[in-house]
């Protein structure tokens, strides 16, 4: 009886150990959140003898170096392949955000031997170099916990290099450019496929929904206030507006200054509208055109330009003042100085 009982206990122990062992391996290694967590241990394990094992890196240089937070300085957003015996694992990112992309069979990889114990991998037209100094991959999003406050330039940089199609995340940061403690939140709704963009202090100041990241508003800090420029290309028409906020209220709405008149011509929101900020002179300008290229040299008037002068009494802008109108000369747009001006100052990226 005791013998049967002992055998049953032994079988039960083996079954439980097998289940926990397999589950533990999955939880600590294969699960996305920890799929890099024990790479260091495995690579240093004496039972791992294959010289091809290791971490291979393809560097995507950004052309400059940016300090994100203490211990995280970024000069490239890299692709990684981790080879462990008969399996390999793919990752993409930096100390800001590191993403697990998938895995495959090591036998499917193309290895090139450069010298003793030094290999490269050819995959998807990229050459990955083995890195003897890199011993671990930490999968996760460090931005959410490490960056609670930042200036707006850094926030733009973070959004550009970490928000990736198919794997967006929610960002919430206090902007340090102003004493008003403006807070920027950017959430992605998987159901509507829209970006929910909000600016707030103690009160919500602005809320908008956007189809893609490139349409997100531009922010400027002006005379202690926040200026938000909302510019989108909708149905091939540039729809734009300018808002100004103090700590609690909207103090200016550019659309309310329309229509404008120049020599009897009424200029309203049916025109293509693009604002720009002259950082040197700290001045806003706006151009209006019936053509979304702003450079139809065959038209009589290619565009009108106005200047926005700050109004200290209202904490906004005065009625836009006329600067110039660009006349079509029927010639080649590439040779037209007004066209060159528009492309340089209004239609440039960023």
Q: Tell me the sheet residues that pair with 252.
A: 244
What total number of domains does the chain contain?
3
Could you tell me if 137 and 245 lie in one domain? no
What one-character DSSP code corresponds to residue 164?
A: B
**92 within some domain:** yes
Q: Are 343 and 308 a contacting pair, CB within 8 Å? A: no
What one-character DSSP code corresponds to residue 215?
A: G
What pLDDT does 135 receive? 78
**Please, what is the Cα angle at 152 between 149 and 156, to 5 degrees?**
110
Q: pLDDT tens digit string along 11-60?
A: 454 444 444 443 333 333 333 333 444 454 445 543 455 778 899 999 99
Q: pLDDT tens digit string along 300-341?
A: 999 999 999 999 888 899 999 999 999 999 999 999 999 999
Could you tell me if 235 and 344 lie in one domain? yes
What pLDDT does 28 receive? 30
Cα–Cα distance, 288 to 260 (Å, whole number): 10
Could you tell me if 179 and 277 lie in one domain? no
Instruction: State the burial class of residue 40 (Cβ atoms within 10 Å of its Cβ: 0-12, 13-18, 19+).
Output: middle
Domain around 154: 147-216
What is the Rg, in whole angstroms, of the alpha carbon atoms belonging to the chain?
A: 29
Could you tell me if 254 and 270 lie in one domain? yes
Q: CB neighbours of 105 closer than 8 A, spacing ≥ 6?
A: 86, 87, 88
**121 within some domain:** yes
**253 within some domain:** yes
Q: pLDDT tens digit string along 113-124?
A: 876 668 899 999
180-201: buried (b, 16+ CB within 10 Å) or exposed (e) per residue? Answer: bebbbebebeeeeeebebebeb
What pLDDT does 13 receive? 47
**4 within some domain:** no
What secondary structure does DSSP assign to 229-264, as a single string?
Answer: EEEEEETTEEEEEEEEE-SSSEEEEGGGG--EEETT
**184 within some domain:** yes
What pLDDT does 325 receive? 95
pLDDT along the chain (350 residues), means of 10: 53 45 34 42 51 92 95 95 93 92 92 79 93 84 92 95 86 93 94 96 95 95 92 94 95 96 95 95 96 94 97 91 95 93 85
Could you tell me if 257 and 278 lie in one domain? yes
pTM across the whole model: 0.80
Could you tell me if 106 and 165 lie in one domain? no
């Amino acid at each position: 009886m005791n013998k049967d009982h002992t055998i049953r206990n032994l079988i039960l122990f083996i079954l439980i150990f097998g289940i926990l062992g397999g589950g533990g391996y999955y939880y600590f290694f294969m699960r996305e959140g920890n799929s890099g967590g024990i790479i260091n241990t495995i690579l240093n394990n004496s039972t791992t003898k294959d010289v091809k094992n290791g971490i291979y890196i393809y560097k995507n240089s950004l052309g400059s170096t940016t300090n994100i937070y203490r211990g995280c300085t970024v000069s490239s957003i890299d692709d990684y392949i981790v080879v462990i015996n008969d399996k390999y694992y793919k990752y993409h990112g930096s100390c800001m955000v590191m993403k697990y992309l998938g895995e495959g069979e090591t036998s499917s990889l193309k290895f090139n031997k450069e010298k003793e114990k030094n290999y490269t991998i050819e995959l998807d037209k990229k050459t990955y170099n083995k890195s003897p100094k890199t011993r671990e991959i930490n999968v996760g999003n460090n931005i959410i916990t490490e960056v609670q406050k930042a200036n707006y330039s850094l926030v733009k940089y973070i959004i550009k290099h970490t928000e990736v199609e198919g794997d967006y995340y929610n960002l919430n940061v206090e902007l340090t450019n102003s004493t008003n403690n403006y807070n920027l939140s950017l959430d992605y709704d998987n159901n509507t496929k829209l970006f929910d963009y909000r600016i707030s202090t103690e009160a919500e100041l602005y809320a908008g929904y956007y189809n893609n990241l490139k349409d997100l508003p531009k922010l400027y800090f002006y005379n202690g206030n926040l200026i938000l420029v909302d510019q989108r290309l909708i149905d091939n028409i540039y729809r734009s507006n300018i808002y100004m906020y103090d700590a609690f209220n909207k103090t200016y709405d550019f659309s309310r200054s329309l229509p404008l008149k120049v020599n009897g011509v009424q200029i309203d929101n049916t025109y293509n509208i693009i604002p720009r900020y002259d950082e040197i002179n700290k001045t806003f300008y706006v151009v209006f055109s019936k053509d979304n290229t702003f450079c139809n040299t065959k038209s009589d008037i290619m565009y009108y330009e106005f200047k926005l002068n700050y109004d200290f009494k209202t904490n906004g802008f005065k009625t836009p003042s006329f600067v110039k109108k660009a006349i079509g000369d029927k010639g080649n747009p590439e040779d037209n100085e007004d066209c060159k001006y528009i492309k340089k100052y209004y239609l440039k990226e960023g």
